[in-house]
Amino acid sequence: MGDGSLSQDEIDALLQGADDMLSSPGTAAMEVPAAGVLSPVERDLLADVLNKAMAVAAPSLTAYLGKNVKITNALVEVKSNDAVRADFGRQYIQVSMGYSGGLNGKNLILFNINDAGIISSLMMGDENGTPPAELTEAHQSTIQEFVSQMLSSTATHLTEKLGRPINTTPPLLSTVNSSNDLKLPPGGDLVKITYNINIEGMVNSKFYHIMEAPMSMDIARMSGPGMESGMGLQQQYQSQQQAVAYQQAPQVGISPVKFPPLGEGMPAGVSGNISLLLDVPMTLTVELGRTRQLVKDILGLGEGSIIELDKLAGEPVDLLVNGKLIAKGEVVVIDENFGVRVTDIVSPAERLNKIQ
């Protein structure tokens, strides 16, 4: 139209273009987050809890491999099922393991093939950690054990954090050759956690932990301020009310209790009748020495193997009663039987300190 006004067709076209712009997936400002997705604060809480859990698991993993293991910098992301599949187009080893009880849900751990090979070789006694040409059934079992130890330690840490016992299911391992092979937890949104893993210069890489969104929200929200030991909102409210009532109550003077020494008040010349205990059986153990070994060393023991102990030749042996050191002595032979000649008795004060 020549007067500058718009025709009805032109107005309809402009409105259609505005609708397309508002519904465009590239317009991030107009996206509506899915209900129940972790907030930024909850993601930070979840990352903090998982970092601490992996720090607890690291010493036992170090003992398994014989190499120092560090797992750090948990990065938490919320993604759709399809978006997670798109992240894993290469070959991986996946191990799934479930939680039940205090937490309910499925965990999926993914390592790239090379890292999985190094871990399995170390666990099988290869100090160089050379990845095998093929992950045999024995290699796969060691990776399952590695992941089981890691997630079981995490469950123990979360049990202490949440105050609710968490049970685990046996780990299941399979190979991922394409994204279709991923055994992702069911549901829509998933939580993907990326960790840095360092194994004493042999591995400096990442591995991945995928869990269901509801379980991750349980961990994050039950780990927030004021929610320690699994305390829910109702328990928080009751605790706060009790604290207020205590502050408002009149304060009563409290003096420390004093107990008389044991035996005070007993008639002179009377002591405890120790004869009542004379027929109580006790286990007396003679300990030549101790040592600590890796699982791979113990599995390698055979006839003729020599184990080095922590005591020098000729050093006194320890005599323990029910696991408590009471004396030291030297080994003697009596009529072809071994015996021990007591050379030193631990003082009552030392024994009391050990018991305490």
Which pLDDT does position 83 carry in this prediction?
92
Predicted confidence (pLDDT) per residue in 198-229, tens digit: 998 899 999 999 998 888 888 888 766 554 44
Which pLDDT does position 199 carry in this prediction?
93
Query: Is the pLDDT reported for residue 165 higher than 70?
Result: yes
Which pLDDT does position 333 carry in this prediction?
84
Share of the chain above pLDDT 70, in %: 72
Mean pLDDT of 152-177: 89
Indicate the range of 20-34, 44-58, 119-133, 310-324 predicted with least confidence: 20-34
Which pLDDT does position 230 carry in this prediction?
41
Which pLDDT does position 168 carry in this prediction?
92
- Arch. (CATH architecture) of 284-299+311-355: Roll (2.30)
Which pLDDT does position 116 carry in this prediction?
94
Q: Helices 137-162 and 40-65: crossing angle, nearest 10°?
A: 130
* Tokens coding 100: 């039940």
Instruction: Find out whether 238 and 104 touch, Cβ atoms under 8 Å.
Output: no
Mean pLDDT of 236-265: 57
Mean pLDDT of 102-123: 93
Indicate the range of 48-62, 167-181, 331-345 predicted with least confidence: 331-345
In sequence order, which residues have a C-beta less than 8 Å from that of residue 263 and are 6 or more positions away?
271, 272
Which pLDDT does position 220 carry in this prediction?
85
Computed over every residue of the chain, the mean pLDDT equals 79
Query: Is the pLDDT reported for residue 139 higher than 80?
Result: yes
318 vs 198, residue with greater confidence: 198
Indicate the range of 6-15, 60-69, 107-116, 301-310 predicted with least confidence: 6-15
b/e map 324-353, b = 16+ CB within 10 Å = eebbbbeeeeeeeeeebeeeeebeeeebee
Question: Where do the domains of the chain lie?
Answer: 35-230, 284-299+311-355
Which pLDDT does position 237 carry in this prediction?
43
Integer CA distances (angstroms), 254 to 22, 185, 257, in order: 69, 56, 9
Indicate the range of 31-40, 143-152, 295-304 predicted with least confidence: 31-40
Grade residue 27 by pLDDT with cuts at 50, 70 and 90. very low
Which pLDDT does position 278 carry in this prediction?
75
Say how far apart CA 18 and CA 286 lie, in whole Å.
Answer: 88
Say how far apart CA 156 and CA 145 lie, in whole Å.
Answer: 16
Share of the chain above pLDDT 90, in %: 31
Query: Is the pLDDT reported for residue 318 higher than 60?
Result: yes
Integer CA distances (angstroms), 167 to 20, 84, 227, 308, 314, in order: 49, 26, 21, 38, 48
Mean pLDDT of 17-34: 42
Q: Distance between alpha carbon 112 and the CA centroid of its chain, in Å?
A: 22
Write down the pTM of the prediction. 0.56
Q: For the domain made up of 35-230, give the CATH fold.
A: Chemotaxis protein chec (3.40.1550)
Indicate the range of 93-97, 181-185, 224-228 predicted with least confidence: 224-228
